[in-house]
Structure 1
Amino acid sequence: MSDALARPAAAGTSAPPRSNAVVAVLALAGIVVSLMQTLVIPIVPELPKLLDAPASDTAWAVTATLLAAAVATPVVGRLGDMVGKRRMLMVSILMLISGSLVCALADSLVPMIVGRALQGLAAAVVPLGISILRDTVPAEKLAGSTAVMSASLGVGGALGLPAAAFIADNWDWHVLFWTSAALGVVSLLLVVTLVPESHNRTGGRFDLVGSLGLSAGLVALLLAVSKGADWGWTSGTTLGLGAAAVVILAAWGRWELKAKQPLVDLRTTAKTQVLFTNLASVALGFSMFAMSLVLPQLLQLPEQTGYGLGKSMLTVGLVLAPQGLVMMLMSAVSAGITKAKGPKVTLMIGALIVASGYALNIVLMSELWHIVLVSCIIGAGVGFTYGAMPALIMGAVDPSQTGAANSLNTLMRSLGTSFASAIAGVILAQMTTEFGGYALPAENGFKVVMAIGAGAALVAFLLASFIPKRNAGAEPAVVEGAGEATPVKA
């Protein structure tokens, strides 16, 4: 790998010719991973028939991905800091390819769950990619590159739904996973060819006890949250898992504070800038996922209900696809605001845009163009927040800790989405209307969820206001050989 690529130009000089290619390759990898997350949505209702298994069991094809992603994200992020972010990025993409191949060959439940779990292990691709950008992209281009990489999650999710619905409607469902595997291979080859390895590493020993403790605590917590509605929120299993999560995570925190080389440096995460960014991430994860729960159901419910639009899954995907493009377009705008005012301002603006989108959705939800408008407004806000949060994290931690720090921030967003799914599920299950002998979510139920989504975004705005205006102790976003760089304002 040439020195020109491995060591970016100093601030104020022209970028290496291939730095844009690095950003594009990493963003593509992020899009492929987010595609994996939406790939299975069109066939979820058909899985019991396709896999000859009860619906309660086939639901694990979704739950397994969630659990694997939660466990892998902080662990792989830490390993990236230790042994190389590019190396762990390639391992993550290999997990995606392996999982896709297993699912593509599956005709029964167990291999499907195994394959989906392997796909979930690739979830660290985006935080690893952002950390690689810090080490390889010139300082003056870091804000824009980070925003593009962050937006790749939304773009993949938005474009993946109509693509997956089209494939599922016209070909055998296994083609979904063959496509995912092929895209993974392309991403891996491009990473091997164009992405340099970072020289910022911590080395040292891996905190195996810490990783096992965090994994056990997260699995217990997410199982209680994601399966509580099925098992009963007051059932012994749900309460037992919740209590176990509290005990395990408390013991894990104590261990991490004493460990010489912890999996997660809790003292760093306690810094005001990191702490409030992560708390805001939980609130935003909650808010952003509410849209994914409400809008597709509104579009698919029968028109005879008086508020449903009676559209197919393919139409749902096409209606929601523009939000992904808006996220990508807004990444350049958010980067400009970050450079001028700092990522704190960008995060607060994004949170307000998200809140306004939900508020608008409460009164505009009866036409296709209403849904397109609302999803694009929320998508614009998400584009702002996704670009700002990594910038805030990287402005407060040492370059050798960016993999773990960004991965933890991603995990916080994931926890928010899990809680959103549980709470929205309870609301929509309780607020129903009778239609054709079935209980369907009522219009007011959707409005309550949207109001909660707006409120969560406003909570994120409030939390972001506590982030210091400027982190005097932050290290400049500069790598070895890059010369002087201007620190990113907080």
Structure 2
Amino acid sequence: MTQPIRRGSRRLTFLVLAAGAGFFAMLQSLITPVLPTIQHDLHTSQNTVTWVLTAYLLSASIFTPILGRVGDMVGKERMLVVSLVALALGCLLAAVAPSIGVLILARVVQGIGGAVFPLSFGIIRDEFPAARVSSAVATISAIIAAGGGLGVVLAGPIVAALGYRWLFWIPMAVVGLTALAAHRLVPESPVRTPGRINWAATVLLSGWLVALLLPISKGATWGWTSGRVLGLLGLAVVLLLAWLVAEVRSANPLIDMRMMRLPGVWTTNLVALLYGGSMFAIYAFLPQFVQTPTSAGYGFGASVTQAGLLMLPMLVGMFVAGLAAGRLEARFSAKAQLATGAAFNVLAAAMLTVAHDTRWQVGVAGALVGVGIGLAFASMANLIVATVPPGQTGVATGMNANIRTIGGAIGAAVVSSVVTAHPQAGGIPREAGFTTGFLLLTGIAVAAALAALLVPSGRRAAGRRGRARATGAELATELAPAAR
């Protein structure tokens, strides 16, 4: 294979990847605190405005693994530019949206940018020396984790100073420049997996993801026992089974099930599912807890900006732990870091269950959550990258991110049902609801920590990686005639 001509240094390539991944992660949480403002400005209902979040979630869940796979096939740099351009255009459309319908459409377009996660990991694996891959993957993971937290911190000050539309204007400018930089500076992909798009598998994958995530995100509004929720969940099961059958039987699978069955992959994905459930629920409900008026008998009556500042210890913990993760791997394996990150999450959720009466307690618990997330994000990405063949890095890391999102949607929905089960007068949740919710999160975090112990390590992992490389070579040989 002819090596491509490099158009930029690895440092510039890394900066481009960090900017793209960081701003997409930030857009995941940047909008959540200002939904009431958007609802008032666009004259819509509370039920309708939540589609601003739901549309983004559904779009990202569909495009992240699919474009990761396309990037493995046709070139990661090319698909990175496509994803960043879509993200910038989505931000532009959202910034000028005259109605809630246009804003929801804009969020669908923004969701295409979710592919920057797997594409970034794939480019790092292709372009960086082996000795630097773990550190670079860990740093990008730290930026992704911190970006999600940064959105909560920045939303209040930006809206107060400039208005909510600047939550889209600023990312549009930065992401647009990042797309141009990606086109000019990021080298063409030297590693590609031959094949063609399996459209049947693509439709089935998109179908079961939507049929699963839509009722989970809307269950509280529609009613968990309503016909819409139960019908969509049943449809999700049918489409999932059909997708699995189609992938197993296909000579040109969208996602190779042999890869997904590797112990290093399925165990890490199991941790991602459980960890996502606890992590996203804390993201969603800790700011809500601190913004609860003190007249409710708990909470701090914080504004959106003050709630963001209380999340700063979490943000710092994420970033510092993520940066340290890659450098620690020479002494502590990715599995050890994943288990440690999960243990920090257990400790944080347990602390919130029994100690949430003062701001410093919430700050300390947030810092523990941040350290756990920083270690977990970095180690999960490194475990997947180290296990799968180079030609399947994009699709494998994309599915891992997707599974974490699914876990987050389920965790947030379940905790929401618990927290709001018996509200006070005025609809404010009782403190007991939050306490029970945090206790539930502790249980989920314990399950994630136990799952982390199942991840292969040492010689077993090395052997699995060898077999994964062999699987990738066999698959490429099998698909070569189809590609021709």
SS at match of 1:366: coil
- Is 2:338–2:379's contact at 8 Å kept on the other side of the alignment? yes
1:312 corresponds to: 303
Q: For 1:90 and 1:322, how far apart are their aligned partners in 2?
A: 33
Could you list the per-position Cα deviations for residues 358-387 of structure 1 after superposition, in whole angstroms to 9, with x for gaps in the alignment? 111223312222222111111001110101
1:324-363 to 2 correspondences below 5 Å: 324-363=315-354
Q: Structure 1 residues 276, 164: CA separation in 2 closer, same or farther (over 3 Å shift)?
A: same
Query: Which residue in the other structure is 1:459 paired with?
Result: 447
What are the Cα deviations for residues 420-446 of structure 1, in whole angstroms up to 9, with x where unaligned? 111011111213333xxx121111211
- TM-aligned CA deviation for residue 303 of structure 1: 1.3
Give 1:258's aligned amino acid.
R
Name which of 112, 124, 134 aligns with 2:125. Answer: 134
Q: Is the 8 A contact 1:81 1:404 kept in 2?
A: yes
2:206 and 2:150 map into 1 onto residues whose CA distance is 31
Q: Is the 8 Å Cα contact of residues 134 and 477 (structure 1) preserved in structure 2?
A: no
Deviations 1:21-44 (A, max 9, x none): 322321221111012112212320
Residues 439-477 of structure 1: CA deviation (Å, up to 9, x unaligned) = 211112112221222222221121121122232131599
Q: How does 1:1-20 map to 2 (within 5 A)?
A: 18-20=9-11
SS in 1 for 2:68: helix
Which residue, 468, 473, 480 being the options, matches 2:456? 468
Q: What is the CA-CA distance between 1:173 and the residue it aligns to?
A: 2.3
Structure 1 segments, 4+ long, off by >6 Å, are 2-5
1:443 paired residue number: 431
Write the letter of the residue equivalent to 2:17. L
CA 1:214/1:477 → structure 2, altered by over 3 Å: closer, same or farther? closer
1:483 is matched with which residue? Answer: none
Residues 477-488 of structure 1 aligned to structure 2 (within 5 Å)? none
Query: Structure 2 matches for 1:398-409, cutoff 5 A?
Result: 398-409=389-400
1:394 aligns with 385
| Distance in 1 separating the partners of 2:47 and 2:353 | 32
Match of 2:86 among 95, 112, 116: 95
Q: What is aligned with 2:283?
A: 292
Does structure 2 conserve the Cα–Cα contact (< 8 Å) formed by 1:6 and 1:198?
Answer: no
Report the residue type matching 1:375 in the other structure: G
Post-superposition Cα deviations, 1:232-282, rounded to whole Å, max 9, x if no partner, equal 111111110010000011011000001111111112101111111101100
User: Counterparts of 1:130-209 in structure 2 under 5 Å?
Assistant: 130-209=121-200
Contact 2:38 2:164 (C-alpha < 8 Å) held by counterparts: no
Return the offset for 1:161: 2.1
Structure-2 residue corresponding to 1:481: none
The alignment of Structure 1 onto Structure 2 pairs a total of residues equal to: 465
Give yes or no for the alignment of 1:226 onto 2:226: no
Distance 1:422 1:48 in 2: 21
Aligned equivalents of 1:19, 1:241: Cα separation in 2? 45
Q: 1:121 is matched with which residue: 101, 112, 115?
A: 112
Query: Which residue number in structure 2 is paired with residue 484 of structure 1?
Result: none
Q: CA RMSD in A?
A: 2.0
Segment drifting more, 153-162 vs 333-342: 333-342
Which residue in 2 is equivalent to 1:485?
A: none
Mark the CA change 1:299 to 1:167 in structure 2 (over 3 Å): closer, same or farther: same
SS of the residue 1:122 aligns to: helix
Q: Within 2, Cα distance between the matches of 1:170 and 1:440? A: 29
Secondary structure, aligned partner of 2:428 = strand
CA distance in 2, matches of 1:384, 1:50: 39
Residue-by-residue CA offset, 1:143-167 (whole Å, 9 max, x unaligned): 1111111111221122222322112
Residue 297 of structure 1 aligns to a residue in which SS? helix
Aligned partners of 1:352, 1:5: CA distance in 2, in Å?
45
Partner residue of 1:415 out of 406, 411, 414: 406
* Fraction of identical pairs, as percent: 35
- Conserved? CA contact 1:167–1:175, under 8 Å: yes
Moved more, 288-297 or 400-409: 288-297
CA distance in 2, matches of 1:194, 1:255: 38
- Report the equivalent of 2:481: none
Residue 115 of structure 1 aligns with an amino acid whose one-letter code is A
Letter in 1 for 2:216: V
The answer (yes or no) to whether the contact 2:68–2:398 under 8 Å persists in 1 is: yes
Of residues 72-81 and 19-28 in structure 1, the stretch that sits farther from structure 2 once superposed is: 19-28
114 and 58 in structure 1: CA distance in 2 versus 1, 3 angstrom threshold: same
2:250 aligned to which of 259, 272, 278: 259
Give the deviation of 1:106 after TM superposition. 0.7
3-state DSSP class of the match of 1:341?
coil
Stretches of structure 2 that go unaligned for 5 or more consecutive residues are 470-484
Q: Which amino acid aligns with 1:191?
A: A
- Please give the alpha-carbon distance, in whole angstroms, between the structure 2 residues aligned to 1:396 and 1:42: 38
Q: 1:33 to 1:313 in 2, by over 3 A?
A: same
